[in-house]
Structure 1
Amino acid sequence: MSFAPVTTYPKSAYIETDTGNKVSRRATISGPQNIVLGGKSIISPSAVLRGDLRKAGSAPTVVITLGRYCLVGEGVVVRPPYKTYKGAFNFYPMKIGDGVHIGEGSVVEAAQIGSWVVIGRNCVIGKFAIIKDCARIADGTVLPPNTVVPALSLFAGSPGRFIEDLPETTQEVVEARTKAYYNRFQPAEQ
C-alpha cells in the first residue's frame, strides 16, 4: 500500500477557521456572509466564490453552501446560477455536498452538486445543472445549462454526455481520497 506525501503550505498563506476550513489568502471570497463552508474544506489560491450574487432586492441570504471535505482548486470560479426576468438578474442558491473536488480552472454555475463528486480540470458546469452523488466529470467537459448528471456516472466531452457507469464503490474511494488529501494538507514547519 502506497501513501501519498504530505502537501505543505506556508501557514501565513491560509486562514484556518474554527471548523477546519483552510482558505487561501489569495482566494477571492465575495459576500462571505452569504457563503456557508461545512468544515474541513480547502479553498485554493485564485479561487473565486461569488456569495455577493443573490436575488435582486433580497435580504442577505445563503447563496453558496459547501459541504465538508471539499476541495476548490486553483482558479476555480463558483457562482450561483441566474435567470433574467423583466430585465433583472435573479440569482438562485447553489448547494454543494460533502467530499466534492473541483479541479483547477473550472467554472461552476450548477444549482446542485451531490456528495463525493469529482469535477475535473478546466470544466464548465452550466447554469442550473444538477450533478447527483458519486458522479465524475472528466477534464475539459462542458455541461450545458440544465443538464442532469445521474448518480454513479461519468460524463465527458463538449457538450458533456454520458460515457459509462461508475462502480458501486465510488463513494468509499472518493471519500477516502478527499479525507486523506485534507489530512495531508499541512502547514510547513517554521
Structure 2
Amino acid sequence: MELAPIHYEKSEYIETDTGNKVSRKSVIHGSQNIILGGKTIIQTECMVRGDLRRSGTGHAVVIAVGKYCLLAQRSIIRPPSKVYKNIFSYYPMKIGDFVHIGENSIVEAASIGSHVQIGKNCVIGRFAIIKDCAQILDNTVIAPNCIIPSFSVYGGNPGLLKEELPECWPQVMEKEAKLYYSIFTPK
C-alpha cells in the first residue's frame, strides 16, 4: 500500500543543510541550545524550549534530537526541571533516532530512546525515561520519574503496561519514519 504525499507550503518550512524541516509557524526558543540530528520534522505550532537551561555563561545543549524524528503539530518539548538545594534548575533532554511525538503531546522527559512512538494528546512527566523501542498510546499520562522499559506499550491515565512489542519494532519504526519523511514534500 502506498501512502499519499503530505504536502506543505514550501515557504512555510525552513529546510536545513542536514535535511531538517522546521515550520516557520513553530516556536523555537533558544535555538542555539537545540541540536537536531538530521531529517527531523518540526511541524506547525510545535514549541521547543531550548531557552530553559541552567543559569550561567556559555551555551549548553538543552535538547538533543536524533535523526528522522517527528515533532507533530502543537506538541510541546521542554527540558525537565526541579528544585535542588533551594535552587530551581533545568536539566538536558535527549531524544534518540526514529522518534515520533504525536499532536498536542507535552514532553518533559529526561530521555527518550530510539524507535519510540508517543501518541497524540500524551503527557510525559518530568524526568521520565523512555527506553529504546517503546510505544505510548494516545491520551496517555506518564508520571514524573517513571521508567518505561524497552519493547513495552503503555496506555491510560496513569500510564500502565498494556502489552509488549515484537522484536521487529526497530525495523518498523525506521521504515515508518523514513517513509513519512519521504512523503512530507512541498507543493
Who is 1:7 aligned against? 6
TM value normalised by structure 1: 0.96
CA distance in 2 between partners of 1:119 and 1:93 (Å)? 19
Could you list the structure 1 runs, at least 4 aligned residues long, displaced by more than 3 angstroms after superposition. Answer: none
1:99 and 2:98 correspond: yes
Could you tell me how far 1:161 is from its partner in structure 2? Answer: 1.0
CA distance in 2 between partners of 1:11 and 1:29 (Å)? 19
Change (3 A) 1:155 1:58: farther
Who is 1:71 aligned against? 70
Who is 1:137 aligned against? 136
CA distance in 2 between partners of 1:113 and 1:85 (Å)? 23
Who is 1:24 aligned against? 23
Unaligned ranges ≥5, structure 2: none
TM value normalised by structure 2: 0.98
Partner of 2:48, secondary structure, is strand
Who is 2:107 aligned against? 108
CA distance in 1 between partners of 2:90 and 2:14 (Å)? 28
Could you tell me how far 1:86 is from its partner in structure 2? Answer: 4.2
Q: Identity over the aligned pairs, expressed in percent? A: 56
1:66-114 deviation digits (Å, cap 9, x = unpaired): 0000000000000000111344321110000001000000000000000
Unaligned ranges ≥5, structure 1: none
**Which one-letter code corresponds to 2:147 in the other structure?**
V
RMSD: 0.8
Who is 1:42 aligned against? 41
**Which one-letter code corresponds to 1:184 in the other structure?**
I
Partner of 2:66, secondary structure, is strand
CA distance in 1 between partners of 2:53 and 2:87 (Å)? 11
Could you tell me how far 1:60 is from its partner in structure 2? Answer: 1.7
Could you tell me how far 1:58 is from its partner in structure 2? Answer: 4.7
1:127 and 2:122 correspond: no
Partner of 2:88, secondary structure, is strand
1:10-30 deviation digits (Å, cap 9, x = unpaired): 100000000000000000000
Aligned length: 187
CA distance in 2 between partners of 1:50 and 1:63 (Å)? 8
